[in-house]
Chains A and B, each alone.
Chain A
Amino acid sequence: MKKILAIAIAVAALNLVRAQDTIDINGGIDIFGRKPIPVAITGFTGEAAEVLKFDLYVQGCCFVSPDAAQFVINGTDNGTVVGSVTDKVARKVAFSRSYNGASLRRQAHAFADDVIQAIESTPEKPIKPIGATKIAFKSQSPGGNGEIYVADFDGAGAQAVTSDATIVAHPAWVPGRMTLYYTSYARSNPDIFMHSLSTGQRRVIAGYSGLNTSAAASPDGTKVAMILSKSGSPNVWVCNADGTGLKKLTSGLEDSSPCWSPDGRWICFATKKAERRRLAKVPAGGGEVQYLSTAGAPNPTEPDWSPDGKWIAFTSQTGDFNICVMPVDGSLPPTVLVAGQNPSWSPNSRTLVFNHGSMGHQTLSVLDVFTKQYKDCRRATGSNSQPAWAR
């Protein structure tokens, strides 16, 4: 009887395991140990192959020979990209398409988006494409000065959007618009600028005495959260996108790095309570601060809330920096994914960009949270850090 009961329990336990998760022998389920989808890429060369591989790798694929692949991705890039995807398990062509216009690089990104749609996206769990998305980041020279840059999410085509030869920090996008907030010491004080990339115009929206930094636009773009110290300690404040209507949200002694929930109802931030560094959240309209548990990931900082609302990525500091991810509902403790800092989620809620490297020589890198695969971006001049993925 005991044997039957044991087998029944074991079978029940096994039914809880989804095929895509590995099992930790100690009994837990490791959501972040997902195996990548094996694909074969044939026929593509040079830049098109490089783009395809980068985009697929950071969205959870790995590269094998056609015999071992679940999907074969075949095509040519002779002038324009032409490609097809064959599903070897279902034994059919998923799709076949040619691409024209813009550049070969853009076409390869568009093809990679279509590949991901075909092999990973489902009506129940649609995946937002990232092939045409941008990042903003800070490039810093030794001595502290730097400029704000914008690039494709893989680092290609990087352009400076400032030219002030001063200290800059923390670029942040207005969702859906080619407009950035960033901190600049151009007026001999850390001020927050709002800068339209399409018109080239910018102006200060927070220039109070003391610290003005860490701007974060609300998901609907109508408001911006920031850290101001004008009341005597660095705290979270919120105002309208143009800087009017300022309201103080927190009263801790050392608050930093606000980020919004995608429904716009909460602002998550880093703070200190009882001499311990914590993450916390406060209602965006004001109210009681609630502290979040990050057990196992000490000194949490720089949080970012995934666009699907489910995850918070943050930096944990333990002498080194580590990118950690935890579910918002607290159902799992944080998982350490890779050494690095300053995570920023892409629109697909599984890929994020961060920076890593040695002090003063930081490189941006793109990470797939579920497979833990990551690949470095093309490096702009100087130390590249504080990336923000346009959403």
Chain B
Amino acid sequence: MKLNKIILPLMIALVAMLATTGCKKGFNGKTTPMPGQTGRTPGDDQPPSTISQAPPVTFDPNAVSNQNPPGGLAQNQPWTMDQVIPDPAALADQTVYFAFDSAAVLSKEESKLIIVSEKLKSDPSAKLQIEGHCDERGTEEYNRSLGERRALALREALNRAGIDGDRIRTISFGKDKPAETGHDEAAWSKNRRGVFILCHMKTGL
């Protein structure tokens, strides 16, 4: 820009003047507000300051509350994990993998969903928990939300295959529980996953 060419030499001069770091000789020229002492030698000319102890932070491990959330524990939860026995091995081979930063179910993973839906159809009382996981490259809360979105995407796919949504819980682990601990795509690709945990209702309920 023409204007820059005109101003540039003056800017350079000013920059040179300001270019000394704050820690070399030279101030930023700021003056301080004076609370009223002039020409006195250092001494106790302000009242001493007494600092009170901060209140202690207590934690009572026995105080974990069994209080129900608003609306009661059963609110919008058709079943809970303490009502079932999980069987992580049953569908371990059907873990679905996702592309980076995506919750879209890839077409190459769809055959696994067929197997999962068939298993649920063959055992009408069985429930399913879907875990959503991420690789380490996102921030923690972003990944917690993305992991949930992956689990929800798989639940939606199973809905479309005829499985009642009430049979399926989702849980996100964000990036907290990687399958592989490496720091490369080989590990990351194994961590971007949805895991199916088949669950059987405890007898007597």
Contact = CB atoms under 8 A, between A and B. Distances in A.
A132 B69 CA distance: 34
B43 interface: yes
A186 B64 contact: yes
A37 B41 CA distance: 23
Contact size range, B:
35 or more
Contacts, number: 288
A342 B41 contact: no
B22 A198 contact: no
Interface in B1-40: 1, 3-4, 6-8, 10-12, 14-15, 18, 21-25, 27-35, 37-40
Contact of A209 (B32, B50, B65, B169): B169
B11 A214 contact: no
Nearest to B60: A200
A126 to B, nearest CB: 10
Contacts of A205: 69-70
Contact of B30 (A20, A197, A206, A210): A20
Contacts of A230: 76
B145 A208 contact: no
A82 B55 CA distance: 24
Nearest to A3: B6
B152 interface: yes
Contact of A256 (B11, B65, B142): B142
Interface in B81-101: 81-82
A37 B140 contact: no
Contacts of A100: 48-51
Nearest to B45: A96
Nearest to A122: B33
Main secondary structure of the interface of B (DSSP, over half): loop
B69 A243 contact: yes
Given A90-B34, A121-B33, A20 B28 contact: yes
B16 to A, nearest CB: 11
Contacts of B183: 359
A29 to B, nearest CB: 11
Given A25-B15, A97-B49, 9 more contacts: A67-B25, A96-B45, A99-B48, A159-B57, A164-B64, A170-B141, A206-B69, A229-B148, A234-B149
Interface of A: 6, 9-10, 13-14, 17, 19-20, 22-23, 25-27, 35-38, 62-64, 67-68, 70-71, 74, 82, 84, 86-87, 89-90, 92-102, 106-107, 110, 114, 118-119, 121-123, 132, 138, 140, 143-144, 150, 159-164, 167, 169-170, 178, 183, 186, 188-191, 197-211, 213-214, 227, 229-230, 232-234, 239, 242-244, 246, 253-257, 270, 301-302, 315, 317, 319, 321, 341-342, 359, 371, 385-386
21 contacts: A9-B3, A35-B21, A35-B28, A38-B27, A82-B44, A84-B42, A119-B32, A123-B33, A140-B176, A178-B57, A183-B144, A199-B58, A208-B75, A209-B170, A210-B171, A213-B144, A227-B141, A256-B142, A301-B139, A301-B141, A302-B139
Interface of B: 1, 3-4, 6-8, 10-12, 14-15, 18, 21-25, 27-35, 37-55, 57-61, 63-65, 67-70, 73, 75-78, 81-82, 103, 136-142, 144-146, 148-149, 152, 156, 169-174, 176-177, 183
Closest 4 CB pairs of A and B: A35-B22, A200-B60, A144-B176, A207-B69
